A and B are shown apart, each in its own frame.
Chain A
Amino acid sequence: MRRIVLRRLAQIIPLVLAVIVLNFVLIHLAPGSLFDVMTSEQQITDPAMLDQLRHTYGVDQPTGVQLAKYIWSVMRLDLGFSYRQNAPVLDVIMDQLPATLILMLAAIAVALVIGMTAGVLASVRVNTIWDNLISLAAVFFFAAPSFWLGIMMVVLFSVKLGWFPVGGMRTIGVNNGVIGDALDVMHHLVLPATALGLFYAATYARVMRASMLEVFRLDFVRTARAKGLSRARVVLVHVMRNALLPIVTLLGLQLGTILGGSVVIESVFSWPGIGSLLFDSVMSRNFPMVLGVLVLGSLLVAVANAAVDLAYLRLDPRIRAR
């Protein structure tokens, strides 16, 4: 078991290396270097000063050396220095990462709870009005852009009804202690997490319905029924556990998309996470920051994918036997 875990984690390393190289190439394709942007933003024109800075930032060295240096520094978790925030890139990202993680996890939770409930309900009442309603809703939420859903939810729930805040993560200037603070964040979290999660809920509902129906036909379900188990127990324990595998696969494949989606949602709800940071950095051509977000984002997805693979082993003992 430990060997499997280690081997799976080792597969991440070449992936991350490739991401670093890819991004380095991209940055060097750009017309106008990071250095030009940086110096023009701070209005440095003195040639001696420019040479001095070129040397400090290592821009005067050949590309190969720069790449090698970049890879070496990323290995030591040094992602460079952001001249805009005047702080190391890693520190800035780590400051913003928790907010994004909270949003992502909440969105995944919303997607799983709503999607699985809807899928199970639709499969139990297959071809009834419930099934049709759920399928219809799934088709709609599958097609709606998440940022638009978010804005429409703000219009309805914040502007018209006043139930939830329009944006942000905390109420400014209020101190309620730890529990009050957590409740406050959760209150702010409801709309963005739902807007982001509903798209995935729609996918999960469709997949869950299909895979439940598939499992219902298998022999062991008939056996479970014949044993005299209650209907609820058959559905929840026997069928659902087996129908869960496609959902786990899908979740693993979609993690990168969810991270990307949270960039847009963060911008809609002015959520102070990596997305806002990336957006600001893209706008100001703050390349070390963009690179840092890409590398760390990819690392996050790679690690989470490995975790999903390992979750497989828990969910389905048959996989371990191979």
Chain B
Amino acid sequence: MLPRTIDFARRFARNRAAVVGLLLVILVIGIALAAPWIYPRNPLRIVGRPEIWPFVNSRFPLGTDSLGRDIAAMIAYGARTTLLIGLCASITATLIGITVGAAAAYFGGWIDEMLMRFTELFQTIPNLIFVLTIVAILGQKLEYVTIAVGVVTWTPIARLTRAEFLSLRDREFVQACRAMGMSNLRIMFGEILPNALPPVIVLSSLVIAGAVLFESAVSFLGLGDPNVSSWGRLIGDGRTLIRTSWYICAVPGLAIMLTVLALNLVGDGLNDALNPKLRDR
């Protein structure tokens, strides 16, 4: 196992951009974890004069917003929200996608037809409109935003899983398992899935980036959880002040962009490292 891990790390490290992305992701995770220690008190608390520009007052390195809240503290706590929603939504999407895709390819026939129609349905519904509807109906809570984002992002994972399963389903080792009398579930998840997983993992890591963008759009529109600090909401709140204090919008936007960028780079790096065949394309 160890030599394989080292080999994997070496292949990942060959992609310089991916290493930079990984460092950025680690930095964001670090900030998210350290937020309660750096800023022990509620980040949504008013701490100073409103609209202090960044780098002016050393107490507020990123300035204060229209209410006099510390932007740096809100960014640090926003990282928690963003990463949590991104990760959970991606896990939700991956679970739904793998289940649907695996069942469709393994059983084939009318089950395949039904499940693929179902997938097509979710591809047709305009995704952000669907997220907004779910959040509007169920309520503005972190869990519901997460589920909503997961529910609209699983379709590519299902299609990819299905394609992978289709190519593996009739291989000799699967036939051997069948001949041994293994149950369908065990063959699907114990034998085929581990072989189909690498490209699916790459796609899931890219889904995290997409989920972060979705979450920021939802909270930008003011439909996110009002009780937690979020990058998107900070932009939405700062929108009214763009004539005088445009930094309130600029700072959290840069945070979103860098995080998504880093996640995308890591996804590309994983792709290179896990699918070495495709690397030279």
Which residue of chain B has the shortest Cβ distance to A26 in the bound complex?
Answer: B137
| Count of CB-CB pairs between chains A and B under 8 Å | 137
A257-B126, A297-B126 known; A147 and B242 CB under 8 Å?
Answer: no
Cα–Cα distance between A290 and B135 once the two chains are bound (Å): 12
- Most A C-beta atoms less than 10 A away, residue of B127, B132, B220: B132
CB pair B264 A259 closer than 8 Å: no
Cα–Cα distance between A144 and B261 once the two chains are bound (Å): 8
A145-B217, A145-B253, A279-B221 known; A298 and B124 CB under 8 Å?
Answer: yes
Which residue of chain B has the shortest Cβ distance to A275 in the bound complex?
Answer: B129
Cα–Cα distance between A144 and B256 once the two chains are bound (Å): 7
CB pair A27 B264 closer than 8 Å: no
The interface-forming segment of B85-93, B161-169, B179-187, B243-251 is B243-251
Q: How many residues of A contact B (CB 8 A)?
A: 49
Query: Of the candidates A14, A15, A278, which one forms a contact with B129 in the assembled complex, judged by CB atoms under 8 Å apart?
Result: A278
CB pair B242 A151 closer than 8 Å: yes
Instruction: Indicate if B275 sits at the interface (CB-CB under 8 A).
Output: no
Minimum distance in angstroms from A245 CB to a CB of chain B:
17
Cα–Cα distance between A278 and B131 once the two chains are bound (Å): 12
CB pair B264 A142 closer than 8 Å: yes
* A interface residues, Cβ below 8 angstroms from B: 14-15, 18-19, 22-23, 26-27, 29-31, 139-140, 142-145, 147-148, 151-152, 154-155, 159, 210, 214, 253, 256-257, 259-261, 263-264, 267-268, 278-279, 282-283, 285, 290, 293-294, 297-298, 301-302, 305
Contacting residues, chain A, for B42 (C-beta < 8 A): none
CB pair A151 B221 closer than 8 Å: no
Query: Of the candidates B132, B216, B264, B265, which one forms a contact with A263 in the assembled complex, judged by CB atoms under 8 Å apart?
Result: B132
A143-B209, A152-B253, A155-B242 known; A282 and B126 CB under 8 Å?
Answer: no
Cα–Cα distance between A260 and B217 once the two chains are bound (Å): 10
Instruction: Indicate if B120 sits at the interface (CB-CB under 8 A).
Output: yes
Contacting residues, chain A, for B133 (C-beta < 8 A): 23, 26, 282, 290, 294
Which residue of chain A has the shortest Cβ distance to B135 in the bound complex?
Answer: A282
A151-B253, A285-B136 known; A264 and B242 CB under 8 Å?
Answer: no
Contacting residues, chain B, for A140 (C-beta < 8 A): 257, 261
Instruction: Indicate if B260 sits at the interface (CB-CB under 8 A).
Output: yes
Could you tell me which residues of chain B, from 179 to 237, have a CB within 8 Å of some CB in chain A?
Answer: 209, 213, 216-217, 220-221, 223, 232, 235
Cα–Cα distance between A282 and B134 once the two chains are bound (Å): 10
Instruction: Indicate if B2 sits at the interface (CB-CB under 8 A).
Output: no
* B interface residues, Cβ below 8 angstroms from A: 117, 120-121, 123-139, 209, 213, 216-217, 220-221, 223, 232, 235, 239, 242-243, 246, 249-250, 253, 256-258, 260-261, 264-265, 281
Q: A145-B257, A148-B249, A152-B250 are in contact. List 9 more A-B contacts (CB 8 A).
A: A29-B137, A147-B217, A148-B216, A151-B235, A155-B242, A256-B123, A260-B131, A263-B129, A285-B136
Cα–Cα distance between A301 and B127 once the two chains are bound (Å): 11
Cα–Cα distance between A37 and B15 once the two chains are bound (Å): 55
CB pair A30 B256 closer than 8 Å: no
Which residue of chain A has the shortest Cβ distance to B125 in the bound complex?
Answer: A298
CB pair B124 A302 closer than 8 Å: yes
Contacting residues, chain B, for A148 (C-beta < 8 A): 216, 235, 249, 253, 256-257
Cα–Cα distance between A22 and B130 once the two chains are bound (Å): 11
CB pair A159 B242 closer than 8 Å: yes
User: 19 A-B Cβ contacts within 8 A?
Assistant: A19-B124, A19-B125, A140-B257, A143-B261, A145-B213, A145-B217, A145-B260, A148-B235, A148-B249, A151-B242, A151-B249, A152-B253, A155-B246, A261-B128, A263-B128, A264-B220, A297-B125, A301-B124, A302-B124
Contacting residues, chain B, for A268 (C-beta < 8 A): 239
Contacting residues, chain A, for B124 (C-beta < 8 A): 15, 19, 256, 298, 301-302, 305
Contacting residues, chain A, for B129 (C-beta < 8 A): 259-260, 263, 278, 293-294, 297
Cα–Cα distance between A210 and B281 once the two chains are bound (Å): 8
- Most A C-beta atoms less than 10 A away, residue of B127, B133, B264, B281: B133
Which residue of chain B has the shortest Cβ distance to A299 in the bound complex?
Answer: B124
